[in-house]
Amino acid sequence: MTLIGLINADLNPTPNMWKPAEKSRILKDIYYCELILSLQPSHLKFWEYVRIEPEKWIEKTFGQEGGGFWVVGMLGKKVIYYNDIEEGYNLSPFTNYGEIDDYLSGQMELHEMVESLCKKFSAP
């Protein structure tokens, strides 16, 4: 590293700090998920049923710093959201629209979350 690089690193000590996920990252996850689910038509149909346009929802425990978490699906009174702190998708209840009730720290990929929900709801 050059001397200027070392100086800049000292002046800007946060290059590896957490940053909230951008919508473009969420849209890439959705695209990837749909590619995988296209091989399982019943799972893709389920996803199309629960999917919503990504929107930020508040979560009061850890989600305020980044302006909330990206919600990508709704299933009854639960939402599928991306926890960008833990880097994974979770299913959490909500009472009021726009507010996630429980902070969860799962690290599933979106397609894994959808597949697990499909299995749960198709089990006898």
- C-alpha 92/C-alpha 78 separation (Å) is 5
Question: 81 in the Ramachandran plot: left (φ > 0), alpha (ψ -120 to 50) or beta?
Answer: beta
Instruction: Show the domain range for 31.
Output: 21-114
Average pLDDT by consecutive 10-residue portion of the chain (124 residues)? 44 66 97 97 96 97 91 97 96 97 95 94 70
Q: Considering the domain boundaries, does residue 1 fall inside one? A: no
Q: Say which amino acid occupies 89.
A: Y
The pLDDT of residue 121:
81
Task: Tell me what pLDDT residue 123 has.
Answer: 61
Does residue 77 lie within any of the structural domains? yes
Give pLDDT, residue 8: 44
Q: Which two tokens stand for residue 6?
A: 């070392």
Q: Which of these, 122, 69, 121, lies nearest to 94 by C-alpha position? A: 69
| Structural domain contains residue 38 | yes
In a domain, 124, yes or no: no
Structural domain total, the chain: 1
- Please give the pLDDT value at position 51: 98
Q: How many residues does the chain have?
A: 124
